[in-house]
Amino acid sequence: MSNQHEEDRAPEARNRADRPSVLIVGGGFGGIAVARALAHVDADITVIDKQNHHVFQPLLYQVATASLSPATISQPIRTILRGQGNCGVVLASASGVDVEGRKLLFEQGDVAYDYLVLAAGASHDYFGHDEWAPIAPGLKTLSDATEIRRRLLLAFEEAEHEGDPTTRRAALTFAVVGGGPTGVELSGAIKEIAGQTLPSEYHNIDTKTTRVLLFEGSDRLLNAFPPQLSERAKRDLESLGVEVRLNARVTEVTEQGIRVGEEFIETNTVFWAAGVRASGLGESLGVPVDRSRRVIVQPDLSIPGHPEVFVIGDMASLTPDGQDHPLPGVAQTAMQMGQFVGKVLKSEIAGRSTPSDRPKFVYKDKGSMAIIGKNRAVAAIGHRRFTGFIAWLLWAFVHIAFLVGFRNRLRVLFNWGVKWLLNSHDARLIVGDTNMHMSKPVGRGFTPKQQDEQ
């Protein structure tokens, strides 16, 4: 087998010891952009990720709310990069970096590099209350999304067969913490599924009475957007029936509910879309990080004293000249940073430039958008603002266009078409634990005799 395999190999793969090794940690928007930019470079490139698949994160909330299947918004990293003979993919979890020794550390051993790109992203931050994590899951991976979907759908099942009115009300109450795009999109979609898709399927409850509360710590939703769009998003959510609470500080999250200021709201289901905490790999570099653990990078996205180490995307903190806050942790930042690093490496590996020639990374803001429900979105592109149906069309167009894989685009279009026409949510699968905690079961057809007898 190995003989035959040697013959299959492209000639470029020979003399590997002479070629520089580029390790890219993370197969998200940033990491994939670096790898693609290095397509024809004479180097050994490896993308390392804990998952075998790249996820189109902007549509993750649609998996969480049963509109799309996980496979529709993801693709194996191998498949994305299979055309690149110089690029391997490794399913593994790096534990740290030995910057001086130029080694990436794994449980099984160290791996040397000539260039390292850290693009491992971020997860949520529970503001020092990590004990809230199991109660209030965040939405960063496909597993998170199917877990949120499970809890969301299970809550309605629980309400349907719960005899105690207070407990039933708690099952039909959903709290979303964090008023960024994820929180806005999630709360709008939950209200939509409860109000439009589910009503005809439950006999004991009126799913239209579902309460969805969105808590935001600051004084407006969508902080990274222009204020007028924040205002519009709030109005649109409220007209859908979402209760938006601004300046709301969450002080307690338990199985029974959530405390916001003085008020305790009984709910079985809390979703977390607040705070950012960058991958811990950044800390192992031994250079300054900000309070979200993001690495403070140089203008060329490398770290001080080590031009061979780059940090990009959600792991990087870069404040452009003349501005007072760092670039936002969104897909386009990661992609642009990845393209930039790829271009720099390409030139240096080919010997056309050296680290002292490097340009500064310049971010081009191509706009921001968030969807609020069927036919409604807000978008800021350059100095233009869009709302309502036009913004929604723009949103759909941009998200389809950037989705990886032509087949996935067709699948998503098909699913959105069906959903738009029929208000359906076709991926309503509860997978995993289906145990419910009911105090007093009741249900039409299910327990009438029991009630008569007791």
How many separate helices (H) and strands (E) can be counted in the chain?
A: 12, 25
Instruction: Confirm or reject binding of residue 74 to its own copies (CB under 8 A).
Output: yes
For residues 22 and 38, the answer to whether their CB atoms sit within 8 Å is yes
Question: Using CA atoms, how far apart are residues 374 and 122, in angstroms rounded to an integer?
Answer: 29
Question: Binding pattern to its own copies, positions 279-318, x when CB under 8 A?
Answer: ----------------------------------------
Q: Using alpha carbons only, how large is the chain's radius of gyration in Å?
A: 24
Instruction: Confirm or reject binding of residue 444 to its own copies (CB under 8 A).
Output: yes
Instruction: Confirm or reject binding of residue 164 to its own copies (CB under 8 A).
Output: no
Instruction: Confirm or reject binding of residue 413 to its own copies (CB under 8 A).
Output: no
Q: Is residue 87 left, alpha or beta, with left meaning phi > 0 and alpha meaning psi from -120 to 50?
A: beta
Q: Pick from 151, 161, 346, 358: which binds its own copies (CB under 8 A)?
A: 161
Q: Pick from 27, 31, 38, 53: which binds its own copies (CB under 8 A)?
A: 53
List active site positions: 185
Q: Which is nearer to its own copies, 394 or 436 (CB)?
A: 436
Q: Which is nearer to its own copies, 154 or 221 (CB)?
A: 154
Q: Pick from 36, 76, 290, 374: which binds its own copies (CB under 8 A)?
A: 76
Question: Using CA atoms, how far apart are residues 419 and 414, in angstroms rounded to an integer?
Answer: 9
- B/e letters for 190-204, b = 16+ CB within 10 Å, e = fewer, are bbbbbbbbbeeebee
- Ranges within 199-258 binding its own copies (CB under 8 A): 200-206, 209
Q: Which is nearer to its own copies, 70 or 195 (CB)?
A: 70
- For 274, the token pair is 């607040």
Q: How far is the CB of 138 from its own copies (least distance, A)?
A: 17
Q: Which is nearer to its own copies, 49 or 125 (CB)?
A: 49
Q: Which is nearer to its own copies, 77 or 260 (CB)?
A: 77
Instruction: Confirm or reject binding of residue 124 to its own copies (CB under 8 A).
Output: no
How crowded is residue 40: how many other Cβ atoms within 10 Å of its Cβ?
11
- Ranges within 381-410 binding its own copies (CB under 8 A): 405, 407-408, 410
Please list the residues that pair with 87 across neighbouring strands.
45
Spell out the residues 6+ positions from residue 427 whose beta carbon is closer than 8 angstroms to its own. Answer: 63, 66, 67, 68, 69, 149
Instruction: Confirm or reject binding of residue 187 to its own copies (CB under 8 A).
Output: no
Q: Pick from 36, 39, 42, 90: which binds its own copies (CB under 8 A)?
A: 90
Q: Pick from 128, 134, 165, 382: which binds its own copies (CB under 8 A)?
A: 165
Instruction: Confirm or reject binding of residue 110 to its own copies (CB under 8 A).
Output: yes
Burial of 447 by CB count in 10 Å (0-12 exposed, 13-18 middle, 19+ buried)? Answer: middle
